[in-house]
Structure formats: structure tokens, C-alpha cells
Chains A and B, each alone.
Chain A
Amino acid sequence: MPDPTAAPPPALRLHRVAKSFGAVTAVSDVSLTLHPGRVHALAGENGAGKSTLVRMLAGVHRPDRGTLELDGHPTVLRDPAAARAAGIAVIHQEPTLFPDLSIAENLYLSRQPTGRLGRIDRRALRAATTAQLARLGVTLDPDRPARGLSIADQQLVEIARALSLDARIFVMDEPTAALSGTEAARLAAVVRGLCDRGAAVLFISHRFEEIFGLAHDITVLRDGRHVSTDPADRLTPDTVVRRMVGRDVGALYPKTPTTPGDTVLEVTGLTRHGAFHDISFSVRRGEILALAGLVGAGRSEVVRAVFGVDRYDAGTVTVAGRPLPAGSPAAAMAAGLALVPEDRRQQGLVLQLSVERNTALTRLRRLARHGLLTTRRERADALHWTERLRVRHGGTHTPAGTLSGGNQQKIVLAKWLATEPAVLILDEPTRGIDIGTKAEVHRMMSELAARGLAIVMVSSELPEVLGMADRILVLHEGRATATLPGPGATAETVMAAATGHPGGAA
């Protein structure tokens, strides 16, 4: 590893920058240096100010104070176009694609290859897109519109878009949050390739394996302040966590053994053509069932069909012995099901509404007295949940859309946990959630299971699956390839089944 002092001049330097939104200070007095050929990781709890820094580098936010230097020259990034022109490519935490445009145009908008008379050369555009996606091992059809892509595919498109820019500095805000290990590993390989070509990379993730596997330097932020910057080989995950959180974190995966009760949810032969085929499973009270598999294996599709968001072509779903009508989320909710969706911005939150209203949204009836819902009740209730999940917000009356990504996820969780359902279905419950809160979410899941809830969890994070599940159903390309007991399963057996080689699992 090169010595930072002997390295070429920094590609980018942020010096003592600060940014506030009204009364909320998102970033205060942070300095950060990116060197060519090095990966710099940024760690910090939800709301620590990571994405705010990213938005400064992307030209979205202008710092209130402090300076930005590119190759030693002070620079002001007026807007996203200026950042792009300066050679900075940004992968934002929340992918924003154009739903009506094709994947190819999402990648190359304003940069489409052109032919005669400046006309767009569609064939070259398609070929370039296919090549970019192939770098990530993705084979999406370049001509299909982005509408309806899964979160993971959206994220892959967002990544491919940034990689297709001819940039010297790559800023990646939780690019792997929705990806499973296989895709994340491919991205890591690409990032190493970028570094070898002399690019500087800023990399944000809540997964420590990734940070320590990739980063040369690690900067820790806490409450918008700079805590430390060190070469990665002088740090351990424990030190980083302690610096991030400022206290010791409870054990991850605090799964308490429970004695499962009656079967509450029973799914038999569930099939939707082209998505999943002949999926059967049952969950008992007090049990946590994990659906594991690679991105695109059909896990989310299965739980969405069970909850009635999507239709299915064959099979039955019964809750506590009674068949559940297909395609009716209302019926599912009435039967005691709850689904925490994968796509929080589209399906989980009303971004313009306040934190307290969002939290109360699933229980308006129950919280109301004589049909009237008082703000005071809503607020008290919201405070209870936001404290419990350590949501960092500027007051429960602020719009949910202004919270950091991880904190938005916590609100979605709170909203559904509070309904006290009989069966709780969680789709990527800890996506984008920091390590401290992750432990808290896991503790709550254990607690709920111990109180007799049945939990179905879709997770791309292998440690989470292994640590929390009583049983693991592994999907591969829409088919169940293995059912493994949680305690006996290993990363190898799950991965073997997830890649379609369950033979190795025996």
C-alpha cells in the first residue's frame, strides 16, 4: 500500500466544511482528503452526515462554510453539471431513475452516442449500455423502461450510470445496500479496477466486511463531526464501531431460542409465471423464517404475492387455517399480516408528511379517540418509537423526506411494528441501517418472536440470515432450492443453494 505522504497530490480535499438545514446541523467542520488510486471509506451512524457530504461533492448542496479543492485548486461546484464536468461521478444513496426512459437512456442521458447530423445512434447506445451492465455482471434489457425495476436493479443501474462517466473521482453512497454478496463482490472488483487506473474513490457502507475489504483509509463521522481518519490496516471493526457510536454496542443477532407454537402462515405451491414457481413454506408462532437468495431470485416477489400486493397464478395462502383471498392487502392486514416493503420511498413512506403522521398511518383508527386523532397523541406515540429506534430527526413534525436514508427506514419499521401483527413480513429490514440500530432491530425481532409473532424475513445479508433465522428457505431463479435449519446452516450451504447447487449443501 502506498504511503499517503509520498502519493500524488490529493484529487479532492474538503476543508472544514459545514452544512445546516434550518435548525438541524447535518455536517459541521469536516475535512476529508481523497487520493488517486485509493479507496476512502466513510463510516458513521444513520444521520451522521455522510450523504450530506456526498451531496456537497455532487453539487447538490453548497457548503455553508469551508472549501473544496480539486487537484489543489479551490473550486465551487455550483450544480450537479459542474460536479460532473469536474470529473466527479456520484452514486446516490436513493437511486433516482427516469421511470419512462429506457435503461440505456437512464445511463446515457445527454451523452447518447450520436451519428449523422447529431442523431442518436440507438444501436451504439444499446451496445454501450450492455457493455456497462456486463461489467457488473447484469444482463438487463437496455430497451426496457426503468419503471418497475426492483430496488436492487435500480441500484445497479445507478451504479452503471456512474461508472459509465469518464470520471477521476467516484463517490459511492451505500451502493451495496440493496445488493447481495455476489453483486457486492463484483462491484468491489470494479472499484479496485478503478483505483488501479488512478481514480479516487469515496465509499460508504454500513457493512464492515466491505469497508475493511476495500478501503485504504477510513474516516469516522459522528453527529456531523469528524472523529478520526486512519489507514484501514491500523483499525479494527470494533474500534470503528466504538468511534461511530460513542458507546459499546450490544451483541448483533441476539437470537433467543423460542419454542414454536401453532402454524400461522402456510403457503403451498405458490406460483407466478416468470417470477417464482411452486413455493411452499409455513411459519409457526415464535419462529423466524428467512428467505435467502441472490438479487432477482424472486424473494420479494414471493412475499409481495403472499401479502396480496401482487397477484399469483397458482397456490394458496392460509393464515391460521383460513385461506387468504389473493391480491388483497386489505384482507391480509385484517388477517393480521404486516409487510415492511423493500422500497421505502415508493411504498413505505409519505415523504411529505411528518414523522409522527407517518408513524401513526397504519393505526389511525386505534390511536384516535371518538374518531378524532389528536396531534398530541400522535406525537407521544411517535416519540416512543423514534426513541426506541434511535431515529435522528429535527423534531417529529418535520417531513419524513428530510430524514437520512437509514432513519427513513426506521420510521417504516416503526410504523409496522406498532401494528402488532400476527405475522410480520420484513423485506430487507436493515437495509441502510447502521450497526448500532441493526442490533436494536434484531433485538426487537427476537422479542416479538418470543411473544409469539411469526416473522418472515427477506434478507440479502448472509450474517443476518444466519444469525436470526430459525429456518432458511433458499431461492434460486424463482425456485426453492433448499430449506435449511437456521442453527446448522453455514454461509457455504446457503450460498451453494442460492447459486443453484444445493448438492454441495448435503
Chain B
Amino acid sequence: MTRAHPRELGVLAALLLLIAGTAAANPRFLSAQSVRDLLLSAAILTVLAAGQTVVVLTRNIDLSVGSVLGLAAFGTADLLATHPGTPLPLAALAGITIGALCGALNGALISYGGVPALVITLGTLYVLRGAAHSWAAGRQINAADLPRPFLDLGTATVLGIPLLALLATAVVLAVALWLHSYRSGRELYAIGSEPAAAARAGVPAGRRIRTAFLLSGSLAGLAGVLYAARYGTVDATAGQGMELQVVAAVVVGGVAIFGGSGSVTGAALGALLLTCIGSSLAVLRVDPFWQQAVVGALILAAIGLDRLLTTRLAARAARTAPEVSRAG
């Protein structure tokens, strides 16, 4: 990254503060086991947030990710339960493909149908959840039905760090690299920042937006695979309501909800922060109601902060303009 991002540093500071505060009140919060649990829980949300970031940057939103996760989790688990011999990479690929198909459907409906993403993905949220229910027909797949190596993936660690967390980090880094250093990645920012200018500049907005939804769907598919591996118990309700957490993570992480600015690292920090709040309030034995209130307040604070920063930055830029811009 070429510049320090004040917004991401802010989230990081909040995260460190929260951890320090909770650890001071209850040192067990920082035990190896509890940190591992934290990272495991954050991993799935982070993968979803990475996909959501790409979509939100283009001034769109993907509300269907929770349902896609559910469908992919159930699909993968069902495949492994009925065909226990399936190689694991193939099973994972199956889950990702389910997600990719859902994402492609979203993208096609939005870019060809000309209907706002909010409406389309709200529709597919229900449709895909319905599809999962009719596929599952009330069945639940339990850990006992799944091959041991698959379940091990969910708890495996490398040098003490959960494998899922490493995977999520890899996803974040790859998406960050694309968004930051590739022409097509920069075009996503352009589309979200000023659609009219993007059209004039000849940016293939439709194609880019379809790609964004394809990626979001695929990552939701991957998240579904991870979900199945981590929890072992999957039914048609897997990931229900997750879309709101994801959007919250992205917004708290500094991705502008109207597109054009923010980063996937920020969104990942947002996911980590939200997960941390959940477990730290649990450790501190705070009423779960307060947990929701805190998350809500954080979202409002994040949005307020963004408005403030934008106007401040604009004002500062305007102020320094004559000095910077004119030699004389």
C-alpha cells in the first residue's frame, strides 16, 4: 500500500483497545484456545466480507451471501455424506461452484435486468434459502456423516494458527492485490466513485459488476465449505442472517456504502472487530442485547466518521490547493 490509510488504522486501534480492555478484565480472553476460537469464527466472516467489499466498491450490495453460504455448505456436506470417497479438493470445488453459479445469476440479473442490486439480491436471498430448504427437505447432516479428514480441516492449525484463518488471510491478500494493483481492480473503484465518468471513460461496467458478483458468490461458496468443515453439523438454515453481519463488517471496516472507496484489509479488520466484540462481551458476561446495540452504534459511528473524513479531506485539499497546484 502506498499510503497510510487513517481509516484502517482507526479500526485497528479500536480492535487493539477492545482486546486490551477485555484482557485486562479477564486474562483468559488471551489464552491460546480462546484466540484460536476467535480467529476461527472470524475466518468465515472475513471471506464473506472480502467478496462483499468488491461488490460494495462498485456501488452495489450482495444480500444473498448468507443464503449462498447455506446452499454451498449443505451441498458440500451432502456430497461428502453420500459419497464419502470424494476427494476433498473436488468437494470444495463443488461448494465454490455452487456459490459461483449463484453469483453469476445475481450479476446477470442486475446488469442485464437493470434492477438495483438491493432488490435482486434480496430476492435471491429468499429464493436460494428456499432452494436449500427444498434440497434438505428437513434433513440435517451431522459430523458423524462426514469424513474425518474433512472435519479435521476445520480445526487444523499450522504453527498454532488455524488453517481457516490462514486461508481467509490468503483470500484477503489476493483480493487486496487485485483491487490495488490491477487495472480491472481499479476500474471497480471508478465505477463506484462516479458511474457517469466510468461510462465516458469506456469502462466495461456491466462486465466488471458481473465479475464482482461472481467473486462474491464464489467466496460465499468457499465460506460454505469452511462452515461445513468447521461446524460439522449442517442443515438448510446454515448462515441465516449472516448477510447483515457481513455488510456491517464491511461498513465498519471503512468501505463506503456508496462505493468508490475503502479496502478489503479494512473490511477484514471490520470482520475481526465484530467477532471480537461478540466474544469479548460474552467473556465479560454482558447481556447479548447490548452486543447488538454496540454493533449498531459502531456502524453509525463508522458512517459518521466517513462523512466527517470525506468533508474534512475535501476541505483540507481545497485549502492546500493554491500552494500545491501553482508554482506562480
Contact = CB atoms under 8 A, between A and B. Distances in A.
A153 B3 CA distance: 23
Interface in B300-326: 310, 313-326
Contacts of A139: 324-327
Interface stretch (B67-75, B117-125, B168-176, B199-207): B199-207
A383 interface: no
Interface string A110-122: 1110100011101
A112 B186 contact: yes
Contact of A98 (B181, B197, B324): B197
B201 A110 contact: yes
A298 B322 contact: yes
Interface of A: 58, 60, 79-84, 92, 96-101, 105, 109-112, 114, 118-120, 122, 138-141, 143-145, 147-150, 153, 272-276, 294-298, 301, 310, 477-478, 499-500
7 contacts: A80-B201, A82-B202, A101-B260, A105-B186, A150-B321, A274-B322, A301-B319
Nearest to A60: B200
B2 interface: yes
A109 B199 CA distance: 12
Given A109-B186, A112-B183, A120-B186, A81 B318 contact: no
A140 B193 CA distance: 21
Contacts of B187: 109-110
A144 B200 CA distance: 22
Nearest to B185: A120
Contact of A120 (B183, B200, B310, B324): B183
Contacts of B320: 274
B190 A98 contact: yes
B314 A148 contact: yes
Contacts of A149: 317, 321
B202 to A, nearest CB: 3
A298 B323 CA distance: 10
Contacts of A310: 315, 318
B314 A147 contact: yes
A79 B190 CA distance: 18
Given A80-B200, A120-B181, A147 B313 contact: yes
Given A98-B193, A100-B261, A147-B313, 4 more contacts: A109-B186, A141-B324, A148-B316, A478-B322
Nearest to B178: A119
Nearest to B314: A148
Contacts of A120: 181-183, 186
Contacts of B327: 139
B149 interface: no
A81 B204 contact: yes
A342 to B, nearest CB: 12
A92 B201 CA distance: 11
A84 B310 CA distance: 32
A297 B193 contact: no
Main SS class of interface, B? helix
A122 B182 contact: no
Contact of B319 (A81, A118, A273): A273
Given A109-B186, A120-B186, A296 B325 contact: yes
A478 B322 CA distance: 8
Contacts of A478: 322
B197 A97 contact: yes
Contacts of A295: 326
Interface in B269-328: 310, 313-328
Contacts of B318: 148, 150, 275, 301, 310
The 5 residue pairs across chains A and B that have the minimum distance between CB atoms: A81-B202, A148-B314, A148-B317, A96-B197, A100-B260
Given A96-B200, A112-B183, A148 B313 contact: yes
B182 A118 contact: yes
B322 A122 contact: no
Contact of B202 (A110, A119, A276, A499): A110
B203 A109 contact: yes
A239 B241 CA distance: 71
Interface string B153-191: 000000000000000000000000000011100110110
A122 B1 CA distance: 11
Nearest to B310: A147
Contacts of B194: 96-99
Nearest to A475: B322
A478 B317 CA distance: 15
Report the interface size class on chain B. 35 or more
A347 B220 CA distance: 41
A140 B326 CA distance: 7
Kindly name the residue among A81, A110, A138 whose own CB sees the greatest number of chain B CB atoms within 10 A.
A110
B317 A144 contact: yes
B190 A275 contact: no
Nearest to A304: B318
B196 interface: yes
Given A98-B260, A99-B260, A120-B182, A477 B322 contact: yes
B198 interface: yes
Interface in B46-63: none
B67 to A, nearest CB: 31
Given A81-B204, A100-B260, A275-B319, A114 B183 contact: yes
Nearest to B3: A143
B278 to A, nearest CB: 31
B181 A79 contact: no
A140 B261 CA distance: 21
Contacts of A296: 321-322, 325-326
A83 B322 CA distance: 35
A143 B2 CA distance: 10
Contacts of A274: 319-320, 322-323
Contacts of B314: 147-148
A150 B321 CA distance: 8
A297 B181 contact: no
A122 B2 contact: yes
Nearest to A55: B200
Contact of A109 (B190, B196, B313): B190
Contacts of A499: 328
A153 B324 CA distance: 12
A96 B193 contact: no
Kindly name the residue among B182, B197, B313 whose own CB sees the greatest number of chain A CB atoms within 10 A.
B197
B189 A98 contact: yes
Given A148-B315, A275-B319, A310-B318, A140 B183 contact: no
Contacts of A148: 313-318, 321
A101 B326 contact: no
A437 to B, nearest CB: 27
Kindly name the residue among A60, A79, A145, A310 whose own CB sees the greatest number of chain B CB atoms within 10 A.
A145
B319 A153 contact: no
Contact of B183 (A83, A110, A122, A294): A110
Kindly name the residue among B181, B261, B322 whose own CB sees the greatest number of chain A CB atoms within 10 A.
B322
Contacts of B260: 98-101
B189 A100 contact: yes
Contacts of A112: 183, 186
A119 B192 CA distance: 21
Interface in B243-262: 256, 260-261
